[in-house]
A and B are shown apart, each in its own frame.
Chain A
Amino acid sequence: MSRPAQLPPVNLHGLDPKWSKIVDFTDRDGISRGVHVLDTGTDRAAELTLVCVHGNPTWSYLWRNFLRQAPINIRVIAVDQLGMGYSERLSSDRVLEQRVDDLTRVVAALEVTTPIVSLAHDWGGPISLGWVENEIRSGEHHIAGVVLLNTAVHQPKDFNSPAIIRLVRARGLLAPVTEYSQGFVLGTRILSGKKMSRDVATGFRAPYRKRESRKAIHGFVADIPFEEDHVSRAPLDHIAESLKLLCGTPILMCWGPNDPVFSDLYLRDLKGRLPHAVVHRYEGASHLVSEDAPTLVGDIFDWIDSPSGTQSTFSSESDSELIDLGAALREQTSTRPNSIGLTAMSEAGNLTWQELDTLTNSYAGYLSQRGVTAGDRVAFLVPPGPLLIPLIYATWNLGAAVVLADSGLGLRGIFRALRGAHVDHVVGIPRAGPLMKSLHIRGARISTKEIDKTQKLPRAVFDTDQKGTTQFPATNLGAVVFTSGSTGPAKGVQYSRGHIARTVTALQSQYTISSRDVIIAAFSPWAVFGPALGIASVLPRMDPGKPSSLTYEALKESVGSAGGTLLWASPAALINVLDTAPKHDDADWSSIRLILSAGAPVPKSLLQRLALLIPHACIRTPYGMTEALPLSETDLEAILKSQSDQGVLVGKGIPGVDICIAAWDAPDQLTTAPEVMGEIVVRAPHMKNSYDSLEFTERSSSHFVGWHRTGDVGHLDAEGSLWIEGRKSHVISTSLGVITPVPVEQRIESLPFVRQAACVGIGPRGGAVVAIVYIETTEAKGLSKMDKEDEMRAIAGVPLAAMLPVKSLPTDIRHNAKLNREEIAQWANAKLAGDR
């Protein structure tokens, strides 16, 4: 049963009736067909045309925000597929090949005179790619770019077709689900990761309210060629094959990783076919990524404006330089083979440099045997310790990259991170078995149980002289690291081999590290660097995922038996050491020359207590982040001299590091002027290379080319020292001025009855906002007296709407010295709203 094309009703949310038109074209069978098209129109001074192709079970409504937000120089066209949306209803199903041909003809009929960028979603992907191929072959239009959202051109062999589609395609179920009921269309709403508003859901469903109007949805699903003999199998394979033609075309892939149909596996498949594509995964978004990720439309226009990717090249590296990350380890092995290289207190095991080297070599041999080669990504679900460290060096010796996720992320966070990192192989402890299985990796899944056996393998399994080099270009990826940040899901930070080498150099020169040093690595990321620094490492008895599990006794034994000279720990670990110290300390701390406290702001009082416990050690607090550490640092003396009502003093940049401020009022300029508050922007030789599959996060962080926006706010003082005033996302913009939380908290914490304070803003984003503080008070009865409130208001220096006492303030799970201001702001918003 056919029906001509129609115009959509005029009242659909977000859709301008002016955009709608019916376009007639003659298909290859010579039959005149009508399609409904949304078009911003030809009256613009368009320099570019964006042609949008929807998939299933949607229609061009999917693209409404692109039409609405289109810049003046871009014409946006969205075509309803034949049989779908408001296009002509056909009496028979249309297959892929025909749809590609239809689209080519429709675009020809639309009189596009500018270069074209294609944008497609779902099953629209192969159709648009087929048409793009036609355009490239015919030279009719110049294809300036290709954008793909959650789609596929190939069914990866080692993975079953999506369960949902298999279910829907099951004999006898397809028609009832897709055609007879609104189930499939309604399911789309569920496929959206976020709650879709009723108005938008109505918009999506509008053309599919009657059974006959849903016939093509059925046909669309039936056209996916899972079977070898399917009529669309060959055309799809042809499209996948001809992606080669796109090697010179800029390509962007935006992905909703929670899509139950087009999962990350398809993204990985496409990335393999289009290695130059830039990728952004919108964590938390699902199939309808354009609905779930509010920034997507702006991001895509931003990319169209400047389509070069930031992530595929490590521009700062020189191609010719070769890096051997295992060189220091081998050097120590040859100069002092029988000295201790690694001590794990919890396992009471020492490894000599010789043993460490042997292990590294035999692990490398085993990994190589299991298929790990240069350029691969290897994920480790292994706690930091005597197993992980040689494994990492083994991986580096093979030229592969390690993918590490902080155990502070929790199981779900680790899974999410590793799934997005598209790892080739995974090595895990037996307990991580189920997680490893669910990752659907392409290469080897190695249990550490097998690896333990390799310890007995003869050393000759892997011999560098015979089997291959350990030198690989500086530009090669060395590591992807996911750490738990205070904002949003963990981001994967990419380091090249060159970056890792430069971090080692920065640490060596900053702390005048010599082979006599022994590092007590209570801050787990740094346990990895011991062998590269050529110094022995001690892993104290503690849970590496929980810094606050380091006790006085554990530290004492690390110093006593291993003679640690450097202590690297987070404030949470140091707090617990002090809290568990006995009244009469009888330990001999004399070997410790340097204590580094990093990972979170360090309270002054903590440093003072530490200085009492370990008097002659130099105490320093480096500032930095996963993206670059260390950046600046200061010592106890300077901190004690500093005022503590302007922020946290973190000192001057270390040699080679530049620190600037992007002023809050003029964020597009970098300044080093004193006392100007703004985002801290840094440049360092050991800065991260880019974020992994997060094109737009990367663009935002490297807004100033060659620099990194830290997301922290603060100011420089007259001497050029940096002061931290909080996170950028925690800055409170009230109608009476801008407030940074840390100085306010410091001032209030100076009152005798306040243990800890947290300053947050409440109110609607963009509307009126007021600042409030939550306090942990030492008063037994809380704060019943008004004069206490007066004191706090007087000292705060900013207008405060409310001061709320609380038993204990929530802190970041990983560093319990970091306040979780997001959670506090949520509490405050609920409590002060009178929520019940």
Chain B
Amino acid sequence: MKVLITGGRGLLGSAVVREIQKSGHECVVVQRTPCHVPGIREFLDDLVAPTKSEQWIKGVEVVVHLAAKVGIVGSYQEFFDSNVLATRKLLEKAKKNGVQRFIYASSPSVAHTGNALIGVGVHKAEPAHVRGSYSRTKALAEIDVLAAHSPDFSTMALRPHLVWGPGDTQLIERIVARARSGRLFLIDGGYSLIDTTYVTNAAQAFACAIDAPTSAFNRALMVTNGEPRTVRETLGRIAYAAGAKAPSRSIPFHIAMAAGHAAESAWRIRKSEPPLTSFLVEQLATAHWFDLGETKRFLEWSPSISLDQGFADLAMWYAKA
């Protein structure tokens, strides 16, 4: 099948491309900056104001939509354009050009209203109640994607939770850098239990979705490693893999929260990503781990790389680097 992938450059994107290629599908990639993966047709285009869409959508049977604006820097309008508007346009184009399946990379944050999520399945996206422009716009887009489902246009949203892996510049690199400089703190001891996802497992979930039975569509599904760990252990293992010291110092929640708010205000002026945000503090201090029962059943997928193996791979990568 011919598969179009948007945003194939990041940690998850490149892994998704690899896995889809492995399962024998033809891949086409659309993004703004080139990634130069061998054997892949690459189009440089802007999804909000596309110029070559006729070329890249032609003959496509499945769309895997990963491209999004992440983080907290930027106006709501910018997030809305990149995450909602671009998705709506892509949906429209896909439908018009006979695409059969549309798989959207959503985020667990679309349903995270601040309460602990403990061993639960997928909750409804709540654009009105989630925090921050990213979560809100991802939630709106997920609702649009699922609403577009019809008998000849199957849609699905996958919500991978905290994806990490070797070469990750977003999560891992920041944790490691802070651990090395001794600025990695735990919040309230770091005992809340969280799920994370090793990148290969997340990518395989997307590859499985392409071949999943039609009955799997018309829903959102959680993707994690299915091995919740305490924040303390997760951060510790990542730091260890990079040869740094595990965090041991802890600060109380409300102080961390205040620091997060302060950093947000300060960095808003600087227009760059702050080292700590109130959202991140809340994420790190509240349990969120999930029930994978539905995902495993519908996608006929299960995580193939255990956390232990993932941390070993990460250590290997740092040893080589």
Question: Which chain A residues in 785-813 approach chain B with CB under 8 Å?
Answer: 786, 789, 799, 801-802, 804
Question: Which chain A residues in 732-790 approach chain B with CB under 8 Å?
Answer: 735, 762-764, 767-770, 784, 786, 789
Q: Residue-by-residue, is A808-836 near B (CB-CB < 8 Å gives 1, otherwise 0)?
A: 00000000000000000000010111111
Interface contact B192-A834, CB-CB below 8 Å: yes
Interface contact B192-A768, CB-CB below 8 Å: no
Question: Which chain A residues in 38-54 approach chain B with CB under 8 Å?
Answer: none
Known contacts A786-B246, A831-B191: A768-B119 contact under CB 8 Å: yes
Indicate if B285 sits at the interface (CB-CB under 8 A).
Answer: yes
A802, B118: Cα distance in complex, Å: 14
A763, B287: Cα distance in complex, Å: 11
Closest chain-A Cβ to B210's Cβ sits at a distance in Å of 25
Known contacts A763-B118, A764-B118: A832-B240 contact under CB 8 Å: no
Interface contact B120-A834, CB-CB below 8 Å: no
A54, B121: Cα distance in complex, Å: 39
Q: Residue-by-residue, is A22-44 near B (CB-CB < 8 Å gives 1, otherwise 0)?
A: 00000000000000000000000
Q: Residue-by-residue, is B103-142 near A (CB-CB < 8 Å gives 1, otherwise 0)?
A: 0000000000000101111000000000000000000000
A833, B118: Cα distance in complex, Å: 7
Indicate if B292 sits at the interface (CB-CB under 8 A).
Answer: yes
Interface contact B233-A770, CB-CB below 8 Å: no
Chain B residues, Cβ within 8 Å of A735: 226, 291-293
Chain B residues, Cβ within 8 Å of A763: 118-119, 289
Q: Residue-by-residue, is B279-296 near A (CB-CB < 8 Å gives 1, otherwise 0)?
A: 000000111011111000
Q: Residue-by-residue, is A482-501 near B (CB-CB < 8 Å gives 1, otherwise 0)?
A: 00000000000000000000
Q: Which of B121, B285, B286, B289 contacts A770 (CB 8 A)?
A: B289
Name the CB-closest residue of A to B187: A834
Interface contact B230-A802, CB-CB below 8 Å: yes
Interface contact A799-B227, CB-CB below 8 Å: yes
Interface contact A768-B290, CB-CB below 8 Å: yes
Indicate if B267 sits at the interface (CB-CB under 8 A).
Answer: no
Chain B CB count within 10 A is highest, among A768, A802, A834, for A834
Interface contact A834-B229, CB-CB below 8 Å: no
Indicate if B237 sits at the interface (CB-CB under 8 A).
Answer: yes
Interface contact A834-B191, CB-CB below 8 Å: yes
Chain B residues, Cβ within 8 Å of A784: 246, 248
Closest chain-B Cβ to A784's Cβ sits at a distance in Å of 6
Interface contact A767-B191, CB-CB below 8 Å: no
Closest chain-B Cβ to A735's Cβ sits at a distance in Å of 6
Interface contact B191-A804, CB-CB below 8 Å: yes
Indicate if B165 sits at the interface (CB-CB under 8 A).
Answer: no
A740, B25: Cα distance in complex, Å: 45
Interface contact A769-B119, CB-CB below 8 Å: yes
Name the CB-closest residue of A to B230: A802
Closest chain-A Cβ to B182's Cβ sits at a distance in Å of 15
Chain A CB count within 10 A is highest, among B192, B253, B290, B293, for B192
Closest chain-B Cβ to A463's Cβ sits at a distance in Å of 69
B contacts with A: majority SS? mixed
Query: Number of contacting residues on A, CB 8 A?
Result: 22
Chain A residues, Cβ within 8 Å of B236: 786
Q: Which of A769, A786, A789, A833 contacts B287 (CB 8 A)?
A: A833
Chain A residues, Cβ within 8 Å of B29: none
Chain A residues, Cβ within 8 Å of B188: 834, 836
A786, B292: Cα distance in complex, Å: 27
Indicate if B13 sits at the interface (CB-CB under 8 A).
Answer: no
Name the CB-closest residue of A to B237: A786
Chain B residues, Cβ within 8 Å of A764: 118-120
Chain A residues, Cβ within 8 Å of B192: 832-834
Chain B residues, Cβ within 8 Å of A770: 119, 193, 228, 289
Chain A residues, Cβ within 8 Å of B118: 762-764, 829, 833
Name the CB-closest residue of B to A789: B233
A835, B115: Cα distance in complex, Å: 10
Chain B residues, Cβ within 8 Å of A768: 119-120, 289-293
Closest chain-A Cβ to B189's Cβ sits at a distance in Å of 8
Q: Which of B227, B246, B253, B286 contacts A801 (CB 8 A)?
A: B227
Q: Which of A767, A802, A804, A831 contacts B119 (CB 8 A)?
A: A767
Interface contact B246-A836, CB-CB below 8 Å: no
A769, B230: Cα distance in complex, Å: 15
Known contacts A763-B118, A768-B119, A789-B233: A832-B193 contact under CB 8 Å: yes
Interface contact B291-A767, CB-CB below 8 Å: yes
A770, B119: Cα distance in complex, Å: 8
Chain A residues, Cβ within 8 Å of B292: 735, 768
A735, B294: Cα distance in complex, Å: 12
Interface contact A833-B286, CB-CB below 8 Å: yes
A833, B291: Cα distance in complex, Å: 15
A804, B246: Cα distance in complex, Å: 16
A735, B285: Cα distance in complex, Å: 25
Chain A residues, Cβ within 8 Å of B191: 802, 804, 831-832, 834
Interface contact A801-B293, CB-CB below 8 Å: no
Q: Other CB < 8 Å A-B pairs besides A786-B236, A801-B193, A833-B192, 13 of them?
A: A763-B118, A767-B119, A767-B291, A784-B246, A786-B233, A786-B237, A786-B246, A801-B230, A802-B191, A802-B228, A833-B287, A834-B287, A836-B285
Please give me the 4 A-B residue pairs with the lowest Cβ-Cβ distance, nearest first.
Answer: A834-B192, A763-B119, A768-B119, A768-B291
Q: List 13 A-B contacts (CB under 8 A).
A: A762-B193, A764-B120, A767-B119, A768-B291, A786-B233, A786-B240, A801-B229, A831-B191, A832-B191, A833-B192, A833-B286, A834-B116, A835-B116
